[in-house]
């Protein structure tokens, strides 16, 4: 029986993946469309990886520039300015708010996301969702860090814990911590998860039914 849920945020509870895609496009467009297109392609193939890792990689690979920590932070801040309002205003994934309102009290729920911790907390507050979660965690620490942190701090049974995500980073965190995994399937991730044989949902309206079968 599942008692604990780790939720990714973008693409799982909010339809905000495209908000971040467009933010990366705009951020790198001044360097030319070719570089901007490469950035977007990498971002889409690596959902769940933090913006700090991405901007460092993009500058090194395509701008031949090694960013120091201050530089990484400056570019991450530019990205945040483009993203925050869009994520707060993004549509919910169908059924997300209904599940949180009606069913989240049956489980212990956390957010584990690639978004910076302070930023995801602002987003949850502004969407009036903060009260549904015990805590929300994000970058700069990676997702396996947080799965292990919560399991250790809360004394969770791994067999009673599931990670719900839409990206390889989510799946890899679940595997690392030996957790169940539920895929929120989209057109963008079908190819990445074509070999995944675990439970899939198209939206959050199907979640409670799937959880009850686990």
Q: What is the DSSP string of the chain?
A: ---EEEEP-BTTTBS-HHHHHHHHHHHHGGG-HHHHHHHHHHHHHTTTS-HHHHHHHHHHHHS-----HHHHHHHHHHHHHHHHHHHHHSPBPTTHHHHHHHTGGGSEEEEEEEEEHHHHHHHHHHTT-GGG-SEEEEETS-HHHHHHHHHHHHT--GGGEEEEESSHHHHHHHHHTT-EEEEE--TTTTTTTTT--S-EESSGGGHHHHHHH-
Whole-model pTM? 0.85
Each domain of the chain, given as residue ranges in start order, spans: 4-15+92-213, 17-89
pLDDT of 130: 97
pLDDT for position 203: 97
CATH ID of 4-15+92-213, from 1.20.120.80, 2.130.10.10, 3.40.50.300, 3.40.50.1000? 3.40.50.1000
Q: Per-10-residue mean pLDDT for the chain, 214 residues long?
A: 97 93 95 97 86 95 96 94 91 97 96 94 97 96 97 98 96 98 94 95 97 94
pLDDT of residue 199: 98
Q: Is 122 within 8 Å of 129 (Cβ atoms)? A: no
């Amino acid at each position: 029986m599942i008692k604990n849920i780790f939720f990714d945020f973008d693409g799982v509870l909010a339809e905000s993946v495209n908000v971040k895609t467009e933010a990366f496009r705009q951020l790198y467009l001044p360097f030319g469309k070719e570089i901007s297109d490469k950035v977007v392609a990498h971002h889409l193939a690596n959902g769940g990886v933090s913006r700090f890792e991405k901007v460092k990689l993009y500058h090194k690979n395509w701008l031949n520039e090694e960013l120091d920590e201050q530089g990484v932070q400056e570019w991450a801040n530019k990205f945040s300015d483009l993203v925050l309002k869009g994520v707060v205003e993004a549509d919910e994934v169908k059924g997300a708010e209904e599940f949180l309102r009606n069913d989240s009290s049956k489980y212990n729920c956390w957010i584990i996301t690639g978004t910076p911790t302070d930023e995801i907390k602002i987003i949850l507050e502004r969407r009036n969702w903060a009260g549904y979660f015990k805590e929300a965690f994000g970058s700069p620490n990676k997702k396996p860090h947080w799965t292990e942190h919560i399991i250790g701090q809360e004394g969770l049974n791994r067999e009673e814990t599931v990670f719900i995500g839409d990206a390889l980073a989510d799946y890899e965190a679940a595997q690392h911590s030996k957790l169940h995994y539920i895929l929120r399937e989209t057109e963008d991730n079908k190819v990445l998860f074509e070999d995944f044989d675990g439970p899939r949902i198209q939206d959050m309206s199907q979640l409670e039914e799937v959880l009850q079968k686990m």
